Structure formats: structure tokens, C-alpha cells
């Protein structure tokens, strides 16, 4: 089968490889991949800047956002059947630790990831633990189903703390998940949504998803724009996706005192924090990681299956596995939002 693998450490190092599908073990399933999304984490692995990259053993088939059809299951598998349409949770949690047994599987310290610790979904077939399968309606398009995993982060962020309903919400960083967060915040009743990103394509996409105000941080002062949009109160909620110091500072500076600061982006290097500003703002800080398994999936899937949330503006390209390098290059040039790879 065809697969996209990271074969050499450092920048790029990708190759179109040939692999043999692996038969599932007792607790595993073999999935024929129908669609797979390129994530920001995949871009960090491409650049070799991610903390995940430091734990990888190469060569490794990349990709963790996937959807497809179950073609074989192990003898002990009971939660899926051959023929089921599934999306994959990217956290392979242990199920035994303190976090897992207290309904916080998304924080399992023993988590492994497809595309990092085992071969991932940028392939025609993938073998993974059946425990990470979410069964979809067969009417849900595979390209949309593959976006359920990143959508879960946006839903988790929108529902954390005080939520978003009736509040002014700043979303700093409009990559695919930030953009999904715009759509989710609109659906959940945010009063005003301010979307910040230096890329015009992403800002325009944010507008299509329901953002009220668009800010280019390269030419505008974010805190001043938020102050103007909120009658000088500041944002009730600031959700940070950019993973850079300037974005974190802008979020803190833009908050109303006592507002919610939700951290979603993961900086690739340590960043300084202005605690004098934080003390003045006294935010409630939520460190968002992944999705709650499986309660967030229930909510995210319902948004898509009922048609209340349309992710088409985010899913900017559909390309074959053979065009995988082109998909990465489009992202690097700022010309794509979320390319979906579809095996030939």
C-alpha cells in the first residue's frame, strides 16, 4: 500500500513509501482509510520542531486525523464491527492509570499517538487499537468525519470554564482548529467573535464561519481592537491558538478582568509570561488538551450530523496520497487551510 512517511530527521524528510498492511492483533482493528487531515502537529514534525518529534523512531507513517471503514477486527474486539464507518481518537490511552479511571483519558500520561508512536493514517490502511474508534453514521462524508478529531478540541475549548454563550470571544490564531472554534462559538451563542490571524485567507474563512470582527495582528493592535469591539470592557473569553509569545500576550491584554483565558496552542520553545499583566487581569486559566473521551465526541458529532455546523470552509483541499507533498507545501505557503488526503 502507499503511505507518506517521515524517513529522515530534520526539515522535510518525507517520502512516498510502500508498506504492507498489518493484520490486527486481538484488541485492534484494520481500517481502510478514506480521508486523513494534515494537522499542525504534522507540520511541526515536518519542520522537526515538535516535542512529539523528539520521541519518534523513524521511519514512521504520519497522520493522526483519519476516517475510514473497518475491514478486519481482532478476536477480542466488541465495540466495532467490520463495515463500520469510524473516526479515530488520536490519544491511545492506557485505560488503567489514575487519569483514565477518573474519566480524564485525554490526560493519560501513557498516551501514544498514531503517526508518532505507531504508524498513522497517511496510508491506504491503518491498524490501530479498537479502543480509539468512534462509530459514525454512514451518511457522514468521510472528509467531514476525519475532521471530528480536531473539531473535538474546538468544542472542548468552547465549553470549558464559562463557555461562550452570550459572551464576547477572542480567538487568536485561525488555523484549522481556531477556525472550527469560530464556527462552534457561533453555534453555541457567542455574542461577539473577534478572530485574529495574519493570513488573509484564514481571516476570510473566519468570516465565513461567523466571526464578527477580523484583526490582522501585523497591522493592528489586538487589544485595542478588542477594546473597541466590546465597549471598552475587554473580551470575556480569550482562546489562544497561535502558540507564540505575542499571541499569548495579546490574549492576556485583551481580556476583561476576571475573564477566561484558554490555552490551546503549544509553543515549540519556552516563552516568557508577563505575570504583572496577568495579576492585573486575574484571568481564570484553562489549559486545553485534546478532547474529553468520549463526551466531547458526542457533542461534536451531533453538530455535524444535524448539519448545524458546516466545516466546508475549513476543508480547503482534497488531494490524493500521491499529492501529499503538495498538500504540505500549500500549507507552508499559506494557501491552504486544512487539506484532506484521500487514498487513490
Residues contacting residue 36 through CB under 8 Å, at least 6 positions apart: 63, 65, 66, 67, 120, 121, 122, 146, 340, 341, 342
pTM: 0.96
* Beta partners for residue 135, in sequence order: 86
What value does the mean pLDDT take over residues 278-287? 93
- pLDDT of 269 reads 79
Q: Is residue 122 very low, low, confident or very high in pLDDT (cuts 50, 70, 90)?
A: very high
For domain 2-147+315-342, say whether CATH 3.40.710.10 is its number: no
pLDDT over 70 for what percent of the chain?
100
Cell matching residue 311: 466545516
Q: Say which DSSP state 54 is in.
A: G
Q: What is the DSSP secondary-structure string of 306-330?
A: TTSS--TTT--EEEEGGGHHHHHHH
Q: Where are the domains of the chain?
A: 2-147+315-342, 153-287
State residue 151's pLDDT score: 98
| pLDDT for residue 49 is more than 90 | no
| pLDDT tops 80 at residue 53 | no
Q: What is the mean pLDDT of the chain?
A: 96
Domain 153-287: assigned CATH number:
3.40.50.720
Strand arrangement of the beta sheet that strand 60-61 belongs to: 14-18, 2-6, 60-61
At 64, is the secondary structure helix, strand, or coil? coil
- pLDDT, position 268: 75
Amino acid at each position: 500500500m502507499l503511505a507518506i512517511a517521515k524517513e529522515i530527521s530534520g526539515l522535510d524528510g518525507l517520502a512516498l513509501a510502500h508498506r504492507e498492511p498489518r493484520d490486527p492483533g486481538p484488541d485492534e482493528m484494520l481500517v481502510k482509510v478514506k480521508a486523513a487531515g494534515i494537522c499542525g502537529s504534522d507540520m511541526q514534525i515536518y519542520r522537526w520542531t515538535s516535542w512529539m518529534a523528539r520521541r519518534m523512531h523513524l521511519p514512521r507513517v504520519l497522520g493522526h486525523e483519519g476516517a475510514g471503514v473497518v475491514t478486519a477486527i481482532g478476536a477480542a474486539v466488541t465495540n466495532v464491527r467490520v463495515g463500520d464507518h469510524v473516526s479515530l481518537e488520536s490519544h491511545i490511552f492506557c485505560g488503567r492509570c489514575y487519569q483514565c479511571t477518573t474519566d480524564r483519558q485525554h490526560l493519560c500520561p501513557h498516551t501514544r499517538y498514531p503517526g508518532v508512536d505507531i504508524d498513522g493514517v497517511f496510508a491506504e490502511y491503518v491498524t490501530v487499537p479498537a479502543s480509539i474508534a468512534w462509530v459514525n453514521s454512514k451518511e457522514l462524508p468521510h472528509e467531514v468525519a476525519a475532521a471530528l478529531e480536531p473539531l473535538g478540541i474546538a468544542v472542548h475549548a468552547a465549553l470549558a470554564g464559562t463557555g461562550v454563550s452570550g459572551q464576547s470571544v477572542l480567538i487568536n490564531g485561525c488555523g484549522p482548529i481556531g477556525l472550527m472554534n469560530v464556527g462552534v462559538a457561533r453555534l453555541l451563542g457567542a455574542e461577539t467573535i473577534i478572530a485574529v490571524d495574519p493570513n488573509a485567507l484564514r481571516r476570510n474563512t473566519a468570516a465565513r464561519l461567523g466571526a464578527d470582527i477580523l484583526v490582522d495582528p501585523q497591522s493592528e493592535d489586538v487589544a485595542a481592537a478588542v477594546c473597541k469591539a466590546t465597549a471598552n470592557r475587554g473580551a470575556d473569553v480569550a482562546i489562544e491558538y497561535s502558540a507564540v509569545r505575542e499571541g499569548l500576550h495579546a490574549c492576556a491584554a485583551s481580556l476583561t478582568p476576571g475573564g477566561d483565558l484558554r490555552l490551546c496552542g503549544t509553543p515549540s520553545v519556552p516563552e516568557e509570561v508577563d505575570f504583572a499583566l496577568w495579576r492585573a487581569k486575574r484571568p481564570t486559566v484553562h489549559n486545553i488538551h485534546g478532547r474529553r473521551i468520549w463526551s466531547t465526541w458526542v457533542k461534536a458529532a451531533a453538530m455535524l450530523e444535524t448539519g448545524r455546523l458546516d466545516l466546508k470552509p475549513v476543508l480547503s483541499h482534497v488531494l490524493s496520497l500521491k499529492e501529499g507533498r503538495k498538500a504540505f507545501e500549500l500549507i507552508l505557503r499559506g494557501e491552504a487551510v486544512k487539506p484532506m488526503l484521500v487514498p487513490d
